[in-house]
C-alpha cells in the first residue's frame, strides 16, 4: 500500500471526523435523552423542571437536518485526498515553526502571570494539600486563581500552538516541538484539575487527535488497529467518562457528594449525562422565558459582549439586550438549576434569532464547516489550521457554542492568520487551491 492509499484508508476508517457524523451523533443522542427522560428524573437527579418538549425536539431535528444538508454541500461528494498535490510544497515551515513558538510563549507567559497572581492572593502548597486531602473544596481555588481579562485569555494560544506544532512535527520532525507540546499538555492537565476546567485539557487533546489523522499512517495494515479506529467514538466516550469522573472526585465528590452518594462511578455517569441533558433543557427553558428572540448574537457570538473596548460598541448597537452573566444565572435560579448552567449550543441560535433564524444559522455554519472539512481532507493549510477547532466546537455543541466564546477567539484569530502567513506566496496559494478543487 503506497502513501496515498494509506492516507485515504486512514481517512475512511476515521469516519467519525466528518462534521455530519459528530454533529448528528452527539446532538441526536442528547436530544433523545432530553426528550425521553421523565420529568421525575429531571427533578430527582438534576433538581430542575423539564422544559424540553415536543416543540423543542422538533426544532432540534430541524437543526440537525439543516446542518447536515449544509455540511454535505460544503464538503462535496468526491474523493478528497490525492497524492498528486503535496501540501508541503505550499508551506514555509520556518514560518510555521516561528508561529508555533510565538503562540507557545504567549501561552506560557500568560500562565506565569496567572500563577504569580495566585501566589500574591495567598495560593500556597498548604492550600493545594488541603484540596487533595479533601480538607477544602477545589472550587475554593477560584478565589486565588480568579481570571484576569486579556491576561489569562492568552493561555488559549495553547490551542493554536498545538495545531501548529502538529503541522510542523508531522512534516519536519517532532524533535523541534515535542518538549513544548508536552509542557502545554501538562499545564492544561494541572489547570483542569486545580481550576476545575476539564475543557482546558480537551481543547488541546481533540485538535491533536484530528491532526493525527491528517497524515499518512502505516497502521492501516493491522486489523486490530483498524477496528479500534472505527470504534473510536465508543472508546472516546469511555475515556471522557473516566476523565470526567476522576476530576469530579476532587471537584465535588470528596468535599460534598460522598456524604450523600454511595457509588462514585454511578454518580459520575449521571452527573456527566446531566451536563448534556440539562444544557438542552436550559435552551428550551430560555426559549419559553424569552418569548421574542433576542435578535442579537448574544449566545452564538458571545465573545462580542466580552471583548475589551469592542464590547462597548456592541452593547450600544444591540441596546435592547439587557442580559449578562448575573441576569442569566438569576433566570436559571428562578426556574432551573444554576449548578447546571450551560446554555446549550444547538438551540442557542434559536434563542438569539428565533426558529427561522436559528435554522438559517446552522445551515450556513454547516456549509462553512463542511468546506473546512474538505480543505482538511486535502491537507490544505487553511483546513489544517481551522478544522481542528471547528471539530472541537462540534463536540461541545450539546453544551455550548465554543467558537462563539471569548476563550476560542485568540486561537481562531491566530490560526486564521497563520494559515495565510505560512504559505510561501499568494501565487502558489492560489494555484494550490485551484489544483485541489480541480482534483475534487
For the segment 309-340, what is each residue's pLDDT rounded down to a tens digit? 888 899 999 999 888 888 899 999 999 999 89
**Gap between the Cα atoms of 57 and 380, Å rounded:** 37
How does residue 360 score in pLDDT terms, banded at 50, 70 and 90? very high
Specify the pLDDT at position 93.
Answer: 83
264-280: pLDDT as tens digits:
888 888 888 999 999 99
Query: Do 346 and 283 touch, CB atoms closer than 8 A?
Result: yes
**Gap between the Cα atoms of 249 and 263, Å rounded:** 11
Rounded alpha-carbon distances, angstroms, from residue 302 to 89, 343, 392: 38, 12, 17
Query: Do 107 and 161 touch, CB atoms closer than 8 A?
Result: yes
Task: HSE, CB side, 13 Å, CA atoms: give it for residue 25.
Answer: 15
Query: Do 237 and 419 touch, CB atoms closer than 8 A?
Result: no
Query: Do 284 and 51 touch, CB atoms closer than 8 A?
Result: yes
| Residue that wins the pLDDT comparison between 237 and 88 | 237
What proportion of the chain, given as a percentage, has pLDDT over 70?
Answer: 79
Query: Do 49 and 282 touch, CB atoms closer than 8 A?
Result: no
Counting beta carbons within 10 angstroms of the beta carbon of residue 31, is it exposed (0 to 12), middle (13 to 18) or buried (19 or more)?
buried
| Residue that wins the pLDDT comparison between 65 and 224 | 65
| Residue that wins the pLDDT comparison between 199 and 398 | 398
Task: HSE, CB side, 13 Å, CA atoms: give it for residue 89.
Answer: 11
Task: HSE, CB side, 13 Å, CA atoms: give it for residue 192.
Answer: 21
Grid coordinates given for 394: 462540534
Query: Do 383 and 435 touch, CB atoms closer than 8 A?
Result: no
Q: Does the pLDDT at position 440 exceed 90?
A: no
Specify the pLDDT at position 231.
Answer: 79
The structure's pTM equals 0.85
Helix axes 199-212, 157-172, angle to 10 degrees: 30
Mean pLDDT over 234-257 rounds to 76
Grid coordinates given for 341: 448552567
Give the other-Cβ count within 10 Å of 65's Cβ. Answer: 15
**Residues facing residue 91 across a β-bridge:** 423
3-state helix, strand and coil shares in percent for the chain, rounded to the nearest 5? 75, 0, 25
Specify the pLDDT at position 194.
Answer: 73
Amino acid at each position: 500500500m503506497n502513501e496515498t492509499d494509506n492516507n485515504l484508508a486512514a481517512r475512511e476508517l476515521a469516519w467519525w471526523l466528518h462534521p455530519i457524523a459528530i454533529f448528528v451523533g452527539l446532538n441526536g443522542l442528547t436530544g433523545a435523552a432530553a426528550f425521553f427522560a421523565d420529568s421525575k428524573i429531571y427533578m430527582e437527579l438534576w433538581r430542575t423542571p423539564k422544559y424540553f418538549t415536543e416543540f423543542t425536539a422538533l426544532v432540534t431535528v430541524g437543526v440537525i437536518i439543516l446542518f447536515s444538508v449544509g455540511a454535505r454541500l460544503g464538503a462535496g461528494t468526491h474523493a478528497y485526498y490525492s497524492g498528486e498535490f503535496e501540501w508541503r510544497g505550499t508551506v514555509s515551515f520556518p514560518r510555521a515553526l516561528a508561529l508555533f513558538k510565538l503562540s507557545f510563549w504567549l501561552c506560557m507567559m500568560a500562565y506565569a502571570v496567572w500563577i504569580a497572581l495566585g501566589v500574591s492572593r495567598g495560593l500556597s502548597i498548604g492550600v493545594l494539600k488541603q484540596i487533595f486531602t479533601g480538607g477544602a473544596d477545589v472550587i475554593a481555588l477560584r478565589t486565588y486563581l480568579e481570571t484576569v481579562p486579556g491576561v489569562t485569555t492568552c493561555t488559549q494560544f495553547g490551542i493554536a500552538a498545538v495545531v501548529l506544532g502538529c503541522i510542523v512535527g508531522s512534516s519536519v520532525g517532532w524533535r523541534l516541538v515535542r518538549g513544548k507540546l508536552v509542557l502545554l499538555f501538562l499545564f492544561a492537565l494541572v489547570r483542569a484539575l486545580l481550576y476545575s476546567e476539564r475543557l482546558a485539557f480537551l481543547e488541546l487533546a481533540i485538535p491533536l487527535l484530528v491532526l493525527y489523522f491528517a497524515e499518512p499512517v502505516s497502521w492501516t495494515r493491522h486489523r486490530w488497529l483498524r477496528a479500534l479506529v472505527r470504534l473510536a467514538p465508543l472508546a472516546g466516550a469511555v475515556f471522557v467518562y473516566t476523565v470526567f469522573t476522576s476530576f469530579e472526585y476532587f471537584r465535588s465528590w470528596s468535599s460534598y457528594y460522598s456524604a450523600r452518594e454511595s457509588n462514585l462511578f454511578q454518580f459520575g455517569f449521571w452527573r456527566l449525562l446531566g451536563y448534556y441533558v440539562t444544557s438542552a433543557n436550559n435552551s428550551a427553558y430560555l426559549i419559553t422565558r424569552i418569548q421574542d428572540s433576542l435578535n442579537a448574537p448574544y449566545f452564538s457570538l458571545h465573545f462580542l459582549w466580552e471583548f475589551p473596548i469592542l464590547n462597548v460598541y456592541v452593547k450600544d448597537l444591540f441596546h435592547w439586550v439587557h442580559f449578562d452573566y448575573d441576569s442569566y444565572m438569576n433566570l436559571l435560579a428562578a426556574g432551573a438549576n444554576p449548578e447546571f448552567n450551560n446554555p446549550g449550543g444547538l438551540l442557542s441560535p434559536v434563542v438569539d434569532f428565533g426558529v427561522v433564524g436559528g435554522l438559517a444559522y446552522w445551515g450556513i455554519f454547516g456549509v462553512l464547516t463542511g468546506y473546512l472539512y474538505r480543505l482538511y481532507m486535502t491537507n490544505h493549510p487553511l483546513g489544517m489550521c481551522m478544522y481542528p477547532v471547528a471539530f472541537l466546537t462540534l463536540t461541545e455543541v450539546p453544551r455550548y457554542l465554543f467558537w462563539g466564546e471569548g476563550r476560542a477567539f485568540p486561537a481562531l484569530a491566530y490560526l486564521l492568520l497563520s494559515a495565510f502567513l505560512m504559505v510561501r506566496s499568494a501565487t502558489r496559494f492560489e494555484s494550490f487551491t485551484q489544483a485541489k478543487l480541480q482534483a475534487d
